[in-house]
Amino acid sequence: MKAQGLVGVAVAVAKNGKILYTQGYGYANLATCQAVQPSMDFQIGSVTKQFTAAAVLQLQNAGKLNLDDTVLTYLPNYAFDPRLTLRMLLTQTSGLPNYLDFPDVSSWVNGVSEQTVLTQIAQAPLIFAPGSYYAYSNSNYYVLGSVIEAVSSVTYPSYMASNIFQPVGLSSTSYLQPAGAASPYTQGPSPGLIPDPSLYFSAGALWSNVQDLATWDAALLNGKVIPPGLFSVMVTPSGLPIYPQGGASPYAMGWVDATEVGHPSVWHNGETAAYTSFNGVFLDDGFSVIVLTNMPVKEDTPLLNLEQQLMQSICTSSATAGNC
């Protein structure tokens, strides 16, 4: 925390959803000197993507969509390339540029319509031919949120609440900022910004706490969200080359494939204007580590390194390795 100048951090170490260790560090609010509690909510940024991916796979399981259908099948009123499929969006292999880099994005912080964002995403030139490379783009998961709405006939927040949060028992996970959430800060630390949720939408707007994310990890692994066969699809990378440098992409669907201390694992991080998140879980036994902060970590690598260091130190110590 000192090295990164962080204000507050919440950490949980769990196995199959059971908390082995949880703690808050630093401050949730500097003005009142309120300490971080591990039950506090933080905005989780792109960790949202695994929730969005799970919702799409639920709809696939229900026969309401097909991953290999084109985007135009569900969003025919926009000028999407006819080659784009839902699977390409999920695996970030569509070639869509990142809408958060568009010139108009600064005017969207206080709210923007889906139609405006979708129109710009659909009309923007592709980075590469769909399905030929991997490149991380928030546009993919923004579009998926609109597909969920088109197929389910309810809003993205309503679908998530009814089909993901409530059935899984995620009482502290929400689309809108909850009361009592850790306050946002930026470098300085200065008071941070929380954009209108319409800016990040299904690519990064969700809020949660470390306990709920541990519960979420276990629910996914234990088939409580989607069937085991579809979860296997969810955590299997496309293997397409990374654009432009090459090398097989480790990105699956809202998860990144990895190996930690000899265990097959998946992880994802997230960053918004004033929050950073990390969620990692072992696929073989459900051991998971979650880290949430109320300030952007300088680059995402230090938080990834912290997660890896926690896993390695716990899993290689004779006193605690049995938990792994």
| Residues identified as active-site | 46
Q: Distance between CA 90 and CA 136 in Å, rounded? A: 10
Question: What SS3 class is residue 251?
Answer: strand
Is 262 in contact with 197 (CB distance < 8 Å)? Answer: no
Q: How many residues does the chain have?
A: 324
> Which pairs count as long-range contacts for 128-131, CB under 8 Å and 24+ apart, including other chains?
128/95, 128/243, 129/83, 129/95, 130/81, 130/83, 130/84, 130/85, 130/88, 130/93, 130/94, 130/95, 131/83, 131/85, 131/88, 131/93, 131/94, 131/240
**Residue 276: CA atoms inside 13 Å, Cβ hemisphere, count?**
24
